[in-house]
Amino acid sequence: MRGHKVVIPNSLQDSVLAELHKSHLGIVKCKAEARSRFWFPGIDKAIDKMIASCDVCLQLRATPARAPLAVWTYPPHPFYRIHIDFLGPINNETYLVIVDAYSKWVEAIRMSTVSTAAVILKLQQFMSTFGVCHTLVSDNAMTFVSQEFEAFCAANGISHLTSPTYHPASNGQAESFVKIIKKGIKSSILSNDSKPINLKIMKYLFDYRNSIHTTTGLSPAELVFGRKLRSRLDLIAPPAPPVTSSSPPSALSDHVRKQQCLQSESYNGHNEQTYGEGKIVLYKKPIANKQHRWTKAVVIKRIGNVIYLIKDLVTSVTLKKHKNQLLMYNGTDNSCDSQTGMPTIDIEDIVTPQSATLEPAREPPPPATECTSPSVTAETQSASGTPPETHSVVADSNLRSDDDEEFQEAIDSESEPDTAVEGRRVGGRVLRAIPKVNYKPYM
C-alpha cells in the first residue's frame, strides 16, 4: 500500500490498465480514475502510451486544428502560373477551368471527353493565345498525373505541381473559381432566356473578366490587356473623340508611321486619279471563271482615301469599290434616265465602230527602233490625219500598259462583232482597239 492506494506489481499492470481503458475514456479521465485507486512507478507514462496505441481511440480522434494559411507567391506577370481543374458534370457537360494566378483571368472550356489527349489539346489552344506558362498546378486526377501529361509538361518546360491527395485547399485558386463558374452555369440554366447555354456562359465569363477583382483591385482584362473590354454599358457614356493625327505621338505610333511610309514608297503606286460625285466611271464587274468586265457606273460619294460608293447604271445596284477598280469614263453623252434619274450612256459613246474586213497578219511588223514605241507611232499617225489601218492590227502585249489593256477589255466586251475601232487620244496617247480575229484556222 501507498497511503490509501494499492501498489500494482509488474505482472498485473497491463491487465489493470486494460480494465481501466475498457470504455475508451480519454487520457484525463483514465489518469484521474487510476490516481484514486492504485499506483505503480511510471503510471502516467504507461497510461499515455496505452491510449496512444489504442486502435479504437485512433479511429475516433478529431481532426487537428487548422494550420496558418499558406499563400502562394504572387507571380511576376500574367500567365506565369495557372491552376486547372475539372467542373461537372452539370447537365451532362464537363468543363475544364483554367485560372491565371496573376490576373485572375478565367477560362471555362467545354470538354467532350476528359482524356489526357483532349486536355493537352485544350491547353495548347489556350497557350497559343496567352503563351506557355512556367508553372501548372492541378490535383491528382488520372488525367493530370499520366505519363502523357508529364511528357507534355517536360517538353514545354512547365513545372507541374500537384496538390496533396484529398486536400483541395492546396489548389484553392482553381477550386474557388470552380465554385464561381458553377454558380454562373447554374444561373444561366435557371434563367428564362432562350439563348443557348454556351452563349450564356460566354456572357458570364465576359462580365466576370471585365469586373474588378477584390484581391487585385483591378479587372482581369486590365491586368492582361491594360484596359477594360468595351461592353454594351459603354454605350451609355458619350462617344470618345476620335484619335487624329494631331494627337500627341508615342514611340509606337512614330515607329508605325515610319514603317507605313516605307511600305508606301516600296508599293510604287502611281494612281492619283480622283473621282468627283456624279462622275461616270467604269468599274470591274466580276463574271465567271475569275474574269471581269468593265461596266458603267456613277460616283455617289467618296467614303475614304481610296474607296468610292458607286451605282451601276444598268442594275442600279450600289457598290463600294477601290480606286484601283475604277477608270474614268470619257464619253460625251450625259443624258439621264427618266426612271432612275441617273445618267444613261451608251457604250458606243466610248468608241465609233466602223466595219472592216479583218485579215490575220501574215508577216511580223518591222521592229521598232530604240526611240520609237507603238504609242508614239500611233500618236504621229493620228496627228498627221492618216487613219491607222485596221486590217492588220498587231500589238505586243508586253508593250501595252495596264490602262490600255483595261480599256481594250471594256471595248471588246461591249462592242459589236466584226467591227474595228478608231483611235482615241487619252493623256497624250492614241489608244486603238484590237479587232477580234479567229486564229483557230492558223493554229
Q: Which pLDDT score is estimated for 136?
A: 93
What is the C-alpha to C-alpha distance for residues 225 and 115, in angstroms, rounded to an integer? 32
Question: Per-residue confidence at 154, pLDDT binned at 50, 70, 90?
Answer: very high
Q: Which contacts of 409-414 are long-range, i.e. CB under 8 A and separated by 24 or more positions?
A: 409/293, 409/294, 410/282, 410/293, 410/294, 410/327, 410/347, 410/350, 411/350, 411/351, 412/436, 413/293, 413/294, 414/293, 414/294, 414/347, 414/350
- Give tens-digit pLDDT for 126-153: 999 999 999 999 888 899 999 999 999 9
End-to-end CA distance of the chain: 138
Task: Tell me, yes or no, if the pTM score tops 0.85.
Answer: no
CATH code at 280-349: 2.30.30
CB 83 within 8 A of CB 173: yes
More confident residue, 116 or 190: 116
Question: pLDDT (tens digit, 9 = 90+) per residue, 325-358?
Answer: 898 888 765 544 434 444 444 434 433 333 333 3
Q: Are strands 424-426 and 429-431 parallel, antiparallel or unpaired?
A: antiparallel
Q: Give the mean pLDDT of 198-225.
A: 90
Task: Tell me if the domain spanning 81-225 has CATH number 3.30.420.10.
Answer: yes
CA distance 338 to 344: 9
User: What tens digit of pLDDT does each residue of 290-321 get?
Assistant: 788 889 999 999 988 889 999 999 888 999 99
Out of 67-76, 257-266, 371-380, 428-437, which region has the weakest mean confidence (pLDDT)? 371-380
Where does the pLDDT of residue 53 fall: very low under 50, low under 70, confident under 90, or very high at 90 and above?
A: confident
State the average pLDDT for the chain: 74
Query: For the segment 77-128, what is each residue's pLDDT rounded down to a tens digit?
Result: 999 999 988 887 887 888 898 999 899 999 989 998 889 999 999 999 999 9
Of residues 56 and 435, which shows the higher confidence score? 56
Task: Say whether pLDDT at 64 is over 50.
Answer: yes
Residue 312, Cα to own-chain centre: how many angstroms? 36
Give me the amino acid identity at 129. T
For residue 174, give the nearest of 92, 261, 105, 233 by alpha carbon: 105
Highest-confidence segment of 272-281, 294-303, 385-394, 410-419: 294-303
Average pLDDT over residues 174-192: 77
Q: What is the structure's pLDDT at 288?
A: 79
Look at residue 378 and tell me whether its pLDDT is greater than 90.
no
Longest dimension (CA), the chain: 154
CA atoms within 13 A on the CB side of 91: 11
* 90 in Cβ contact with 185 (< 8 Å): yes
Would you state the pLDDT for residue 244? 62
Q: Is there a contact between 168 and 175 (Cβ–Cβ < 8 Å)?
A: yes
Delimit the domains of the chain by residue range: 6-59, 81-225, 280-349, 353-442
pLDDT of amino acid 87: 85
Single-letter amino acid, residue 410: A
